[in-house]
Chain A
Amino acid sequence: MAEAITHSYLENTGRYKGILAWLTSTDHKRIGLMYMYAMMVFFIVGVLLGELMRLELFRPGQQFITAQTYNGVFTIHGIIMIFTVVIPGLAAVFGNFSMPLLIGAHDVAFPRLNLFSWYLYILGAAIALSSQFMGNGPPDTGWTFYAPYSIQTHTNVVAAVFGAFVLGFSSILTGLNFIVTIHRFRAPGMTFFRMPLFPWSLYATAWIQVLATPIVGITLLMVIAERWLRIGFFDPSLGGDPILYQHLFWIYSHPAVYIMILPAMGVITEIIPTFAQRRVFGYKAIALSSLAIALVGYFVWAHHMYTSGMSITARWVFSLLTFLVAVPSAIKVFNWVTTMYKGSIAVKPPFLFALGFIILFMIGGLTGLSLGSLATDIHVHDTAYVVAHFHYIVFGGVGFAFFAALHYWYPKMYGRMYNFKRANIAFIFMFVGFNLLYFPQFVLGLMGMPRRYFDYLPQFTLGEQISSIGGFILLVGIIIMLVNLFSRKGGKAPDNPWGGTTLEWSIPSPPPHENFDKLPVITGEPYDYE
């Protein structure tokens, strides 16, 4: 028994060696890392596609790619980033790696299903990417696949749509696994209200994954059926209704934003108490606001459709609900800031990324208010303003939270530290670059620059150029960060490098295969620094 515990999960003890030992592993920690490696590759591809667009947009007129290529590039950029990076994102990587550790479990409820989900993820991503190399050229619909354009274009829409469909199953199964794990596998004595807040946010997320994803799944199949069989669900020239597509698509895709952001909020809620050495302020409010966001988030989808010709009733109802969903997000921000009050704060890289997250998330959230409001949305709808807003949420929010989580749990994952100074330099480049990249796009949108434009009117040139320069500063930051993490020059990590109180810090770094030698018994609240 004692012998087995000395092996970390990174060492191979099973039947297979090398990469096969990873590809057949049902260990939640290994699966978490496998998601992360795959996601890093997709992320880098997505970033490079983004930079390509920034280069093309540096000047008005055509620079070096054609309009058709550009449309293909923003489409696959969106598909990769949304479906293979930010939607699985924190839930797949840190939900797998950290959540069972945080709740004191040996693994998730269905380890083999968990591995199967990873294979579905890889398969779905591969199918989606195959759209670039097969059929009549890369899809050019945008990641939203709006009908009837997606029905009529000759490009390879089916592969992209089917890839997204398969990725959806990966998401549903992961959600199901997490719900059961959180219900059944919490350590003895860990009631729901003694559970750390990252698992809480994953729990809310998992319900959205399970309940909303099937809707986009069937919608995407309907697009395929319409393209192949000319059925006429969405294309009016076949007797369909294009507005129906938009409703079905956003019934999933708006809650999907909460699939992305809730785990990000959860991670931030773990990091702040640790580095402030203080119990989290308003534990119950944070836990319940996750559920509130998940619930109300279901009923706001048509705020993506204010200009589609909906009735005035639909417009004001969805506008009102959209404003209501802003409130629980605001509560979380107040709780995070108050948790810093009279703390003992160590500004280490994970905390720095968390601070960056809070600022960028606030900008993203507050700029969302004029998209929720009817009169103002009409002007900035489908403009660069929307592009800026959702990049602040999904990159400034989810992305920076992901990097915060990575710097936070990295010592636990690998049993090694990284160089703090370089991590801080990377953060500064990323934070400055990010704001230069996206902030001008708010202004461009207000000036009337529509989104998905290959070319633009001369008055938008200055904003586009600042944005492109920001894009390259951001890229430099990302490279510094990744090099720093992968060079592994930080020395051995202690079991509890940050002085955290949650269960993952009570076991060795890296953890043994079975996590806990003996299941911990929980007798109090999770953030007890007394």
Chain B
Amino acid sequence: MFTEASNFAAGVDQAFKIIFGISIFILIGITTVMITFVVKYRRSKHPKAEQIKDNTILEITWTLIPLAIALLMFYYGYTAFRPQRDFPKDAMNVTVVSKMWAWSFVYPGDKESDVLVLPLNKAVILNLTSLDVIHSFYIPAFRQKEDCVPGKVNQMWFIPTMAGEFWVLCAEYCGMNHSYMEAKVKVVPESEYKAWINALPKKAAEPEGLTIIKKNACTGCHSIDGTKLVSTSFKGIYGKKSIVLTEGKEHTVTVDAAYINSSIFEPDKDIVKGLPKGVMKSYKGIVRDDEVSKIIEYLKSIK
């Protein structure tokens, strides 16, 4: 349940234990005193209240002690965190690419994978990027989290200290399938990692149409491999017949250039049966006309 699988995890957990330990002591202490007072000085047993004067020394004491505790907790939180920001010079770099609602990992040599495979006991720096909105790269077992902010590159680093598979989750709300935006980290012995990275093919130059589709996050709802996501998959879509609702009336259309064009710019005109109105926004002013023809070309190619 609370696996400690990175070099930072034990330090973070230590800070948790200190803070929780002191907190539980304070909570139980104050609650006990309070309940004792309520029982002991209940009106039936203690009909006349004593009017107690203020006590400056007592008040200064219970200001300074919490202050000291607060500073102590701050200190532990800070010292466990500080090394997380001292990036090692010789670590390997992996770029994390996030988009609605998937992770991908780009290794040196332009090799891409959707599983983050890492060598055991080797420092790694992750460069966190986003193609659309803010996501947050979170590996609970590593106690690590940092946001992927579009337009900038955030970093995190760690050393995986336990072999195995761990979850990568998205912690910053990013739209409809936020809770399904997950991936796996696979920590393996270095020899196994080397074999894996060597076998990983170079990222093939992708058709321009696909780049445009990915850039606009179309693949968040429309898969390109036939999987049903929110809407119809793009695989084999060109030339297919589709039942749509136009102003509430059901009829069949053939997916051709004109239909694709209107689907991109006026998605609410013909709505695919079974989908709510407004689920897709208009890409007017976002996708250019010449890009549309490249998209169409690409869609023709994936049968």
Contact = CB atoms under 8 A, between A and B. Distances in A.
Interface of A: 67-68, 71, 136-137, 140-142, 146, 148-149, 152-155, 236-237, 241-243, 276-279, 281-285, 307-309, 312, 315-316, 319-320, 323-324, 326-327, 330-331, 333-334, 337-338, 340-347, 355, 358-359, 362-363, 366-367, 369-370, 372-379, 381-383, 446-448, 450-457, 459, 529-530
A176 B150 CA distance: 40
B179 A456 contact: yes
B136 A343 contact: no
A379 B151 CA distance: 24
Nearest to A237: B150
Contacts of A377: 77
Contacts of A374: 77-78, 80-81
B70 A323 contact: yes
B49 interface: yes
Contacts of A530: 51
Nearest to A450: B171
Nearest to B83: A375
B41 A340 contact: yes
Contact of B151 (A136, A241, A452): A241
29 contacts: A137-B277, A141-B173, A142-B173, A149-B133, A276-B41, A278-B52, A308-B147, A309-B149, A316-B78, A320-B74, A342-B50, A343-B49, A344-B41, A345-B42, A346-B43, A363-B27, A369-B73, A372-B73, A373-B77, A375-B11, A378-B12, A378-B143, A448-B141, A450-B170, A451-B171, A451-B173, A452-B178, A452-B179, A529-B49
A262 B271 CA distance: 50
B74 A381 contact: no
Nearest to A352: B38
A369 B75 CA distance: 12
Nearest to B182: A457
B288 interface: no
A4 B160 CA distance: 79
Interface stretch (B16-24, B91-99, B235-243): B16-24
Contact of B66 (A142, A154, A326, A347): A326
B37 A331 contact: no
B245 to A, nearest CB: 16
B19 A309 contact: no
Nearest to B135: A149
Contacts, number: 268
B138 A448 contact: yes
Contacts of B169: 448, 450
Given A67-B176, A343-B46, 4 more contacts: A141-B173, A334-B62, A381-B145, A455-B179
B145 A382 contact: yes
A343 B149 CA distance: 56
- Residue in B50, B74, B132 with the greatest tally of chain A CB atoms within 10 Å: B74
Interface stretch (B192-200, B254-262, B278-286): B278-286
Contacts of B302: none
A337 B37 contact: yes
- Residue in A237, A315, A362, A374 with the greatest tally of chain B CB atoms within 10 Å: A374
Nearest to A386: B171
B37 A345 contact: yes
- Residue in A67, A324, A363 with the greatest tally of chain B CB atoms within 10 Å: A67
Interface string B118-158: 00000000000000111010101101111101111010000
